[in-house]
Amino acid sequence: MEKQRKVILSFSDRDREPIEFPILSGTTGPDVIDIRSLHGKSGMFTYDPGYLSTASCTSQITYIDGEAGVLLYRGYPIEQLAKQCDFLEVCYLLLNGELPNATQKTKFDDTIKRHSMVHDQLASFFKGFRRDAHPMAVMVGVVGALSAFYHEAMDISDASHREVSAYRLIAKVPTIVAMCYKYNIGQPFMYPRNALNYVENFFHMMFATPAGDYKLNPVLVRALDRILILHADHEQNASTSTVRLAGSSGANPFACLSAGIACLWGPAHGGANEACLNMLGQIGDVSRIGEYIKRAKDKDDPFRLMGFGHRVYKNYDPRAKLMRETCHEVLNELGLQNDRLFKLALALEKVALEDEYFTSRKLYPNVDFYSGIVQRALGIPVSMFTAIFALARTVGWIAQWNEMISDPEYRIGRPRQLYNGAVKRDVVPISQRK
Ligand code: SDX
């Protein structure tokens, strides 16, 4: 029987006894120090703003090795999934832990199709927004509003209710994202078509109109399918941690995903693809790359190279490599090989990866660096990029939420703090205050 490995915390102040903490190991990746007894035994908390050294949960869904640039969904390398599977296959894998066989895939695809329409009353919510509202503002509201439509299946302790909520979200979020776009451009909403597959349907709802036929391009459909696979899940990132924390109070999954969408919107997170494309537009020309690299390195300048750097990846984000390949494919298919922004992005990447500031800090392109260029080439407007990211991450959020709620040991998340505010003092009547 292997001896339990442990850490012994000893204190420099002599009168405190050392405390022992067990070391826990997963199937792979870093071990953790189980400090759950720390406060009870010492009256102290750990201090880790930004959670750089904190494991918030156990999980079997996604594994990242940031040093090696490895990303596995349920043990399968992202490179293999992106090339050999479609997005709904990956959704099935993330939800169930195994890839579907042919029968299971057909059944899953049909189930998702049957949930792709939204309640017609949901369309009324859009009328309350300005036409030029940011799609993520609409997404936060409308996805959260789904909570008002499924009272018959909101008992989160019931696995069948959690399952149907997962199907509803995976199926309806693309419909809602397309509705955001149609509302923004003043075109009528397009209903989903069951004759189409998941991504074909999304293109149809985004770009078809009642006035005529819409011709799908299989290369573009495959490209977007791959983009969705690359964004589907990513361990305990900020928005997933938001969904878990919201879910830990027992909130319904629709409300939890609305919170996740709100967090993803930030430019340091999912908003980076929109910010990256805007940045490339701002740089404008290869001749100005040096000026912006200089700004990115200047501590007094808030400008950062959007699409570069990552909290976990201290090597190339494997998704960025696949995204760059997809970029080539799409631009070649569309005869845009000389796309100005793509050439600018390639040049910017080359300059940054030869610059000591970036290499010494292990700042490499992340998933957002190329995704904006591909999406723009697919005809998706910049303002919709993060909504597409939310569409893809819906399955990751709901799989992680379900994993937490299914764990009988889960409890409400409630971090503590290092308080450095005013100590206890008495109120002075206003007449005596200076
Ligand atoms: C996503 O967590 C996930 O998994 C997220 C995600 C997912 O799939 O869910 O992968 C999706 O959010 C990708 C990241 C998208 N964000 C961006 O591209 C925005 C630009 N990147 C940075 O804001 C930053 O790199 C973060 C937010 C991504 C990571 O921030 P960290 O880990 O807190 O890194 P840091 O800020 O501590 O940086 C370390 C150093 C600092 O310099 P020093 O203080 O050491 O001198 O690197 C510098 C930073 O100033 N730095 C950058 C930089 N990113 C970090 N300098 C210039 N440009 C950058 N992009």
pLDDT digits (tens, 9 = 90+) for 211-243: 999 999 999 999 999 999 999 999 999 999 999
Integer Cα distance of 364 and 33 in angstroms: 29
Question: Does residue 268's CB lie within 6 angstroms of at least one atom of ligand 1?
Answer: yes
d(CA 240, CA 225): 21
Joined together, the tokens standing for residue 251 give: 């909130």
Q: List the structure tokens of 122.
A: 């949901």
Distance, CA of 234 to CA of 223 (rounded, Å): 20
Helices marked H in 318-366 = 318-333, 340-353, 356-360
Cα 390 to ligand 1 centroid, rounded to whole Å: 19
361 lines ligand 1 (CB under 6 A): yes
**How far, in Å, is the centroid of ligand 1 from the Cα of 264?**
14
Q: What is the pLDDT of residue 338?
A: 86
pLDDT at 409: 85
CA-proximal residue: ligand 1, atom 24 (nearest): 309
Ligand 1 atom 40, closest CA: 361
Domain boundaries, the chain: 6-55
6-55 topology per CATH = Rubrerythrin, domain 2 (2.20.28)
Confidence at residue 45, expressed as pLDDT on a 0 to 100 scale:
97
Give the Cα separation of 54 and 328 in Å (integer).
38
**Residue ranges of the chain whose pLDDT lies below 50:** none
Report residue 9: phi and psi, to 5°.
-95, 115
| Helix, strand and coil percent figures for the chain, each rounded to 5 | 55, 5, 40
- Residue 50 Cα: closest atom of ligand 1: 33
Cα of 363 vs centre of ligand 1, distance in Å, is: 8
CA of 305 from ligand 1 middle (Å) equals 9
Smallest CA separation from ligand 1 atom 35, residue: 311
Q: For the chain, how long is the longest CA-to-CA vector?
A: 82
| pLDDT score for 15 | 86
What is the rounded CA–CA span in Å between residue 419 and residue 422? Answer: 9
Is 367 close to ligand 1, i.e. is its CB under 6 Å away?
A: yes
Contacts of 115 (CB under 8 A, 6+ apart): 167, 168, 170, 171, 172
CB 303 near ligand 1, within 6 Å: no
* Ligand 1 contacts CB of residue 366 (under 6 A): yes
CA of 287: how far to CAs of 293, 294, 351, 372, in Å? 11, 13, 12, 21
Output the pLDDT for position 13.
Answer: 85
Using most ligand atoms within 8 A of CB, pick from 310, 364, 397 the residue to mutate for ligand 1: 310
How far apart (Å, rounded) are the C-alpha atoms in residues 263 and 272? 12
Which residues is 32 bridged to in the sheet? 24
- This prediction has a pTM of 0.93
The packing angle between helices 340-353 and 367-377, to 10°, is 170
Residue 422: predicted pLDDT: 97
Contacts of 159 (CB under 8 A, 6+ apart): 406
Give yes or no for a contact between 291 and 285, defined as CB atoms under 8 angstroms apart: no
Listed residue (55, 49, 42, 57) closest to 416, CA to CA: 49
Q: Which atom of ligand 1 is nearest to the CA of 233?
A: 8
Atom of ligand 1 nearest to the CA of 239: 9
Per DSSP, the three-state class of 356 is: helix
Cross-strand pairs, 308? 365
Q: How many helices (H) and strands (E) does the chain have?
A: 18, 6
Look at ligand 1, atom 2, and give the residue with the nearest C-alpha.
237
Q: Which atom of ligand 1 is nearest to the CA of 269?
A: 12
Specify the ligand 1 atom closest to the Cα of 307: 18
The answer to whether the beta carbons of residues 394 and 89 sit under 8 Å apart is no
Q: What is the CA radius of gyration of the chain?
A: 24
Residue 347 near residue 289 (C-beta atoms within 8 A):
yes
pLDDT at residue number 271: 87
Any ligand 1 atom below 6 A from CB of 274: no
Please give the Cα distance from 21 to 102 (Å, whole number): 47
Active site residues: 310, 368
> Buried (b) or exposed (e) across 172-202, using 16+ Cβ within 10 A?
bbbbbbbbbbbbbeeeebbbbeeebbbbbbb
Is the CB of 296 inside a 6 Å radius of any atom of ligand 1? Answer: yes
